[in-house]
């Protein structure tokens, strides 16, 4: 069987951090299982986080009105993207799984990782206007978020002061990863390692190591498949009327995002499709 490749996109300044420890455990455990592991250590690489005209070699198509996505798409087709973006594209192209390892910043990824997302998941390479969600160009790859929080887990419960973690995950997991077609594995969340005791931190890393051993065989998180939507301009890309009708009597909506004005299906973004009794295979049951 061909060797599988895992790309870890990693954002922490310090090799002594808990994030570094989580990244190192992943490198060691996956390598020991025979995977090829590539790490993009964004701060060490001094990765350029801003999407700017410098991302394109040669002349811009419209310098008077610079539009990043348009220029990126043309530059991708004409092989004029900057060398650092092309280097990341080569890594992504090889990867069967991408793990994003980061400390949660402002309910999201650190700016340097947001820059990687903006610059590397280029139109043409990761998606096109016709190829999004389950038709995204990365549909044969898996991706997942592995992150630490400052806050304790209870703050991210549906009644916690920070709000339901599933809501926080939706923009990254649906708006970035699922949008590009990635099969999104359930996130791995290290709750408040700085608040934990040394033995609790060791236990967190051991649990991560145990999960890594079966990670590539895991089922992904369920999203509403595109056939549930009317993908026409007239239909507004909204959930089809018959699907809405089927959900009328149900207690919960389809997904965290497509909640249909109903209570959110519990843990929709943190459990796998097999565990999701509310959206089994995306079909209303
Ligand atoms: C700009 C900004 C925005 C933020 N926004 C949010 C937010 O929206 N929500 C939120 O919850 N938090 C937020 N935070 C907090 C942030 O998420 C946490 O500080 C971060 O996740 C902690 O992870 P770390 O790797 O930096 O921990 P560290 O402080 O590096 O590590 C925690 C502890 O683990 C120890 N450790 C390191 N290696 C090991 C090892 N091998 N084994 C055992 N222990 C080890 C360290 O020595 C340390 O004692 C924010 C922080 C910043 C700076």
Least confident of 43-47, 89-93, 131-135, 269-273: 269-273
Is the model's pLDDT at 284 over the cut of 50?
no
DSSP class of residue 127 equals B
Cα 148 to middle of ligand 1, angstroms: 6
Cα 179 to middle of ligand 1, angstroms: 28
Is the model's pLDDT at 279 over the cut of 80?
no
CA-closest residue to ligand 1 atom 1: 105
The pLDDT of residue 281 is 43
Cα 180 to middle of ligand 1, angstroms: 29
Is the model's pLDDT at 261 over the cut of 70?
yes
In which residue are the tokens 């109903």 written? 262
Average pLDDT over residues 147-165: 98
> What does pLDDT average to over the chain?
95
The closest-lying atom of ligand 1 relative to the alpha carbon of residue 24 is 41
CA nearest neighbour of 10 among 145, 206, 204, 210: 145
Query: Measured between alpha carbons, how far is 51 from 48 in angstroms, rounded to an integer?
Result: 8
Query: Measured between alpha carbons, how far is 113 from 143 in angstroms, rounded to an integer?
Result: 14
The pLDDT of residue 272 is 85
The pLDDT of residue 282 is 44
Residue 25 CA, distance from chain mean position: 20
The closest-lying atom of ligand 1 relative to the alpha carbon of residue 155 is 11
The closest-lying atom of ligand 1 relative to the alpha carbon of residue 205 is 42
Cα 204 to middle of ligand 1, angstroms: 13
Instruction: Characterise 79 by phi-psi region: left (phi > 0), alpha (psi -120 to 50), beta (else).
Output: left
Query: Measured between alpha carbons, how far is 259 from 236 in angstroms, rounded to an integer?
Result: 17
CA-closest residue to ligand 1 atom 26: 17
Six token digits for residue 47: 């990765």
Kindly indicate whether the domain formed by 5-217 is annotated with CATH number 3.40.50.360. Answer: yes
Least confident of 15-19, 103-107, 273-277: 273-277
CA nearest neighbour of 240 among 180, 188, 193, 283: 283
DSSP class of residue 45 equals T
Query: Measured between alpha carbons, how far is 42 from 12 in angstroms, rounded to an integer?
Result: 8
Instruction: For residue 176, count CB atoms less than 10 angstroms from its CB and return exposed for 0-12, middle for 13-18, buried for 19 or more.
Output: buried
The closest-lying atom of ligand 1 relative to the alpha carbon of residue 148 is 21
CA-closest residue to ligand 1 atom 36: 18
Is the model's pLDDT at 275 over the cut of 80?
no
The pLDDT of residue 97 is 98
CA-closest residue to ligand 1 atom 31: 18
Is the model's pLDDT at 280 over the cut of 80?
no
From 17, 152, 160, 164, mutation site for ligand 1 pocket: most ligand atoms within 8 A of C-beta: 17
Other Cβ atoms closer than 10 A to 193: 19
Domain boundaries, the chain: 5-217, 226-282
211 pLDDT band, cuts 50/70/90, is very high
Is the model's pLDDT at 239 over the cut of 80?
yes
Q: Helices (H) and strands (E) in the chain — how many of each? A: 7, 8
Average pLDDT over residues 161-180: 98
Percentage above 90 pLDDT, the chain: 94
From 160, 193, 199, 206, mutation site for ligand 1 pocket: most ligand atoms within 8 A of C-beta: 193
Furthest-apart CA atoms within the chain: distance in Å: 58
Average pLDDT over residues 102-129: 98
Using DSSP bridges, classify how beta strands 188-190 and 238-239 pair: parallel, antiparallel or unpaired.
unpaired
Pocket of ligand 1 (CB under 6 A): 12, 16-19, 21, 103-107, 148-151, 193-194, 201-202, 205
Is the model's pLDDT at 192 over the cut of 60?
yes
The closest-lying atom of ligand 1 relative to the alpha carbon of residue 21 is 41
Residue 38's SS3 state is: strand
Sign of the four-CA dihedral 37, 86, 145, 199: positive
Average pLDDT over residues 113-125: 98
Least confident of 49-58, 85-94, 263-272: 263-272
> Cβ neighbours of residue 94 under 8 Å, at least 6 residues apart?
5, 7, 36, 38
pTM greater than the 0.85 cutoff: yes
The closest-lying atom of ligand 1 relative to the alpha carbon of residue 22 is 41
Query: Measured between alpha carbons, how far is 91 from 8 in angstroms, rounded to an integer?
Result: 10
């Amino acid at each position: 069987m061909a060797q599988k490749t895992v790309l870890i996109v990693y954002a922490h300044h310090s090799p002594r951090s808990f994030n570094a420890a989580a990244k190192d455990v992943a490198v060691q455990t996956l390598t020991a299982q025979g995977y090829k592991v590539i790490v993009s250590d964004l701060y060490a690489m001094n990765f350029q986080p801003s999407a700017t005209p410098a991302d394109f070699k040669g002349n811009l198509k419209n310098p008077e009105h610079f539009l990043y996505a348009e220029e990126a798409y043309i530059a991708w087709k004409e092989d004029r993207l900057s060398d650092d973006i092309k280097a990341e594209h080569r890594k992504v192209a090889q990867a069967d799984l991408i793990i994003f390892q980061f400390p949660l910043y402002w309910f999201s990824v650190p700016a340097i990782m947001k820059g990687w997302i903006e610059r590397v998941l280029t139109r043409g390479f990761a998606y096109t206007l016709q190829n999004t969600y389950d038709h995204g160009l990365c549909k044969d790859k898996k991706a997942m978020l592995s992150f630490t929080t400052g806050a304790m887990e209870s703050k991210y419960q549906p009644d916690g002061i920070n709000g339901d973690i599933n809501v926080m995950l939706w923009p990254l997991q649906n708006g970035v990863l699922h949008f590009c077609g990635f099969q999104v594995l359930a996130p791995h969340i290290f709750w408040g390692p700085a608040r934990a005791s040394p033995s609790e931190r060791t236990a967190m890393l051991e649990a991560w190591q145990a999960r890594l051993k079966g990670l590539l065989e895991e089922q992904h998180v369920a999203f509403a498949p595109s056939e549930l939507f009317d993908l026409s301009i007239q239909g507004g890309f909204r959930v089809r009327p018959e699907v809405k009708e089927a959900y009328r009597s149900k207690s919960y909506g389809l997904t965290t995002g497509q909640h249909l004005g109903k209570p959110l299906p519990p843990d929709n973004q943190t459990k796998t499709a097999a565990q999701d009794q509310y959206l089994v295979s995306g079909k209303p049951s």
